[in-house]
Amino acid sequence: MKKLIFQLAVMLLIMAAIWAFFTQIDFVKILRPQQKLEQGEKKLGELLLNVYKMQSERIDDPLNDAYLNSILEPLFDANDIDPQSISIYILRSDAVNAFALPGRNVVLLSGLIDFVDGPEELIAIIAHEIAHLEADHVMRKLRREIGITALLSLVSGNYNLDLMREIASLIATNSYSRVLENEADKLALDYMYAAEIDPMALVKVFMLFAESFGSVPQQLQWISTHPQSVDRADRLEMLLAAKPSKSYRTFDRQEWKQFKTRLQAFNP
Amino acid sequence: MSNSLYTIKVNEHDAEKASNSYLMSMVAIMAGLGLPLFNLIATFIFYMANRKESYYVRWHCTQALLSQLLLVLTNGVGFAWLMSILFGGNVFNNHFFAYLAMLLAINLTEFIATIITAIKTRKGGHIEWWFLGALTHLLVQAPQPDQEETFVA
């Protein structure tokens, strides 16, 4: 028995030594796995975005983009998020929905912007989608639901339009797991709190969706992809109550109205 | 590996069986089943089929099975680590790649050792692997001195 334990100990020591030896090699620098993953995600994001653009017209208005950038600037600044790394697209659709895409893209449907009451609520939704991106929820969901092999074949150019449509639909209409949604909720709340943007706006969004659900269920896609709204609003209120109170910045309502008017009137 | 513990009287039939126990993992690889789990299943089936054979055969079937079990465990850790990166919150880092490199070294060593042991046992020789040999002695009941099979130190 002593011999057995001795040999086991020596074997484990040798394995540890080999492992320690190999850790001296900077594999991450040589193989650059993160950069390769990001490139693949970016390509997948572009492919999916093209599918959405085929289905819905993009509202590409520099004035609207400038407005979005201005209201999101505090959020990015306060949370050390590079605004250049995130692309936000507005697509014309009656559906009330927003979703994050691989490659750090966020898609807002114009129906959602029409639906929310103010810029804080729009920021809250965008913050929630950015939280999904920052926590790598989008790719984790795709890897789980589509599979790594399928994703690799997609980014290597081996794909068909039907499959891309299927994935696009999966992203737009399927919810994340409850754990991931809670994580994104909490992150979004923290982002807003740090940026001095009233985090209650996120609570209001969930309440607004919960109240409106049933009146226009076909169009309220965001609620179907973000279930248990009342529970989540309650949870967020509890999280917020635990934070020290502070004053929050205000946003110009006139600019918000102009933004919405420009969206409705946009004609390429 | 050690081959100096016993002088064993081994007949042709036993030598072939013992050698085949090591070859089972090779057969699984050659059949295109490169996953260690299939090698483990193959050696386990062979072990079950030969557990009533002579001490020499049982001993080597057990050592072959344990070697595959060790591989499955070490490779399983690497697989679980990879899954935690792809589906969990972990990221690729040097520790992970170092572990993969270590796995490659272990698998390669095991592969070479398996070939050498299969050749040696086919000739009636006896090779005990480090740690696994001692563990096999613990698990496989040695025959009584009055039994037909004898071991000469």
Taking an 8 Å cut-off on Cβ atoms, the answer to whether A3 and B134 are in contact is yes
> Going by DSSP bridges, is the β-strand pair B151-152/B7-8 parallel, antiparallel, or unpaired?
antiparallel
The verdict on A148 touching B (C-beta cutoff 8 Å) is yes
State how far residue B46 is from chain A, nearest Cα, in angstroms.
25
Q: Which residues pair with B128 in a beta bridge?
A: B2
Q: Which ranges in A98-136 belong to alpha helices (H)?
A: 110-115, 119-134
State how far residue A107 is from chain B, nearest Cα, in angstroms.
23
Query: What are the φ/ψ torsions at residue A255 (nearest 5 degrees)?
Result: -65, -40
Report pLDDT digits (tens) over A49-96: 988 988 889 998 999 999 999 999 999 999 999 999 999 999 999 888
State how far residue B96 is from chain A, nearest Cα, in angstroms.
9
Report pLDDT digits (tens) over A155-183: 676 677 777 888 888 788 777 888 888 99
Residues 6 or more apart whose Cβ sits within 8 Å of residue A123: A71, A72, A75, A192, A197, A201
Per-residue confidence band for A144, with pLDDT thresholds at 50, 70 and 90: confident
Rg of chain A (C-alpha set): 22
The answer to whether the beta carbons of residues A44 and A103 sit under 8 Å apart is yes
- Touching B: A residues 182-221, CB under 8 Å: none
Report pLDDT digits (tens) over B35-62: 667 777 777 888 888 888 888 899 999 9
Structure confidence at residue A225 (pLDDT): 64
Model ipTM?
A: 0.80
Taking an 8 Å cut-off on Cβ atoms, the answer to whether A34 and B91 are in contact is yes
pLDDT at A45 over 50: yes
Of A210-219, A222-231, B25-34, B69-78, which has the strongest mean pLDDT?
B69-78
Q: Which of B95, B103, B136 has the highest number of chain A CBs within 10 A, making it the mutation to test binding with A? A: B95
All residues of chain A having their beta carbon less than 8 Å from the beta carbon of residue B92 are: 28, 31, 33-34, 37
The answer to whether the beta carbons of residues A111 and A57 sit under 8 Å apart is no
pLDDT at B149 over 60: no
Taking an 8 Å cut-off on Cβ atoms, the answer to whether A8 and B97 are in contact is no
